[in-house]
């Protein structure tokens, strides 16, 4: 991860009135702290990638995990690997728009995948008799495909709209990666359209999925309360607890990242929230699913030891 004060560099434009060079401040300008932060984030990156790849390996290796819930979880792990890879390694200014596009593509797909996982839990617990029909292999592929299409459309819209803005004032970005709120603050042209598009995207890709997740789990909670056996309740809750924890982290950090859109200046708090959203969350997700899910634990033991878990 680059935390050098001049992580982004581009030659000056022939028109001096238009800024064509941005400077990413990164996490700190203190030279003494930069090597320490580099090591910390390198280890975090390795842990996040290793954890998510191990989840993918466990799902592929264990036939018991070849079901819709783990199909969606495998796709989520793949997105997490790509998300942390987009925001942590250093990039040049020429890749700023590409980074922005990829980040919104992956984050948007995350929103829809988390919603699909909630719908899967709703069907499994509330509609068990029709579960295999209503969550067939074709429907699983369709849900993942739709997630990618909707996310791609939003990411492309936001990136193209941003490329029309002019930057002719301050060129210092007080962050460690390119994102819309920080770039809006530096634009000398109107960002009304961009902010409107971001608001629409937040409603469609943030609020709507969160409402669907809440409704799904309201039905799940009602169904769990009707289960008489303690063992049955425990099993139902264990399959939902991990997902709810991930949803809480993802949406909690996402909301705080964009609720400061109108603030005049970025703060260190924005960087902290960005770290939680793009670095810590992908690292925690495999830990959450591993610690709270005995099936994943058994599959991981098989991957690393070569021995199948006892039935």
What pLDDT is stored for residue 292 in this prediction? 66
Q: What is the rounded CA–CA span in Å between residue 177 and residue 88?
A: 8
Averaged in consecutive runs of 10 residues, what is the pLDDT profile of the chain (311 residues)?
A: 39 47 67 82 89 89 86 91 73 71 90 93 91 93 95 94 82 76 84 92 90 94 86 78 85 71 57 76 82 75 67 51
For residue 77, what are the contacts with CB-CB under 8 A and spacing of at least 6? 52, 53, 55, 56, 285, 286
What pLDDT is stored for residue 186 in this prediction? 80
Degrees to nearest 5, angle at CA 150 with 148 and 152: 65
- Contact in structure between 88 and 41 (CB atoms under 8 Å): yes
Q: What is the rounded CA–CA span in Å between residue 4 and residue 121?
A: 45
What pLDDT is stored for residue 211 in this prediction? 93
- Token duo for residue 141: 């592929």
Show the domains of the chain with their CATH numbers.
39-163+174-305 (1.20.1070.10)
Phi, psi torsion values for 173, nearest 5 degrees: -100, 115
What pLDDT is stored for residue 16 in this prediction? 44
- Token duo for residue 185: 């603050």
What pLDDT is stored for residue 90 in this prediction? 56
pTM over 0.75, yes/no: yes
For residue 224, what are the contacts with CB-CB under 8 A and spacing of at least 6? 125, 233, 236, 237
Residue 261 Cα distances to 6, 130, 302, angstroms:
24, 44, 46
Q: What is the rounded CA–CA span in Å between residue 249 and residue 98?
A: 25
Q: What is the rounded CA–CA span in Å between residue 114 and residue 175?
A: 27
What pLDDT is stored for residue 8 in this prediction? 39
């Amino acid at each position: 991860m680059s935390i050098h004060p001049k992580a982004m560099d581009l030659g000056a434009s022939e028109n001096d009135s238009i800024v064509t060079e941005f400077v990413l401040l990164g996490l700190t300008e203190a030279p003494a702290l930069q090597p320490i932060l580099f090591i910390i984030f390198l280890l975090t990156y390795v842990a996040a990638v290793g954890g998510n790849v191990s989840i993918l390996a466990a799902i592929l290796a264990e036939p018991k995990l070849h079901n819709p819930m783990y199909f969606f979880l495998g796709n989520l792990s793949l997105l997490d690997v790509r998300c942390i890879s987009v925001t942590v390694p250093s990039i040049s200014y020429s890749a700023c728009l590409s980074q922005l596009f990829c980040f919104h593509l992956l984050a948007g797909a995350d929103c829809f995948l988390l919603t699909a996982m909630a719908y899967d839990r709703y069907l499994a617990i509330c509609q068990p008799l029709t579960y295999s029909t209503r969550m067939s292999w074709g429907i699983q592929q369709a849900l993942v495909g739709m997630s990618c299409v909707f996310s791609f459309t939003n990411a492309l819209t936001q990136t193209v709209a941003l490329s029309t803005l002019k930057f002719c004032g301050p060129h210092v970005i007080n962050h460690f990666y390119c994102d819309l709120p920080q770039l809006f603050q530096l634009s000398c042209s109107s960002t009304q359209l961009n902010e409107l598009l971001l608001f629409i995207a937040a409603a469609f890709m943030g609020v709507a999925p969160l409402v669907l997740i809440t409704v799904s789990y309201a039905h799940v909670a009602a169904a769990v309360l009707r289960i008489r056996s303690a063992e049955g309740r425990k099993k139902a809750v264990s399959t939902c607890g991990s997902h709810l924890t991930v949803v809480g982290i993802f949406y909690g950090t996402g909301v705080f990242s964009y609720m400061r859109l109108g603030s005049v200046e970025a703060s260190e708090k924005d960087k902290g929230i960005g770290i939680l959203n793009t670095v810590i969350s992908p690292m925690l997700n495999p830990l959450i699913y591993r610690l709270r899910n005995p099936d994943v634990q058994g599959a991981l033991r098989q991957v690393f030891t070569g021995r199948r878990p006892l039935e």
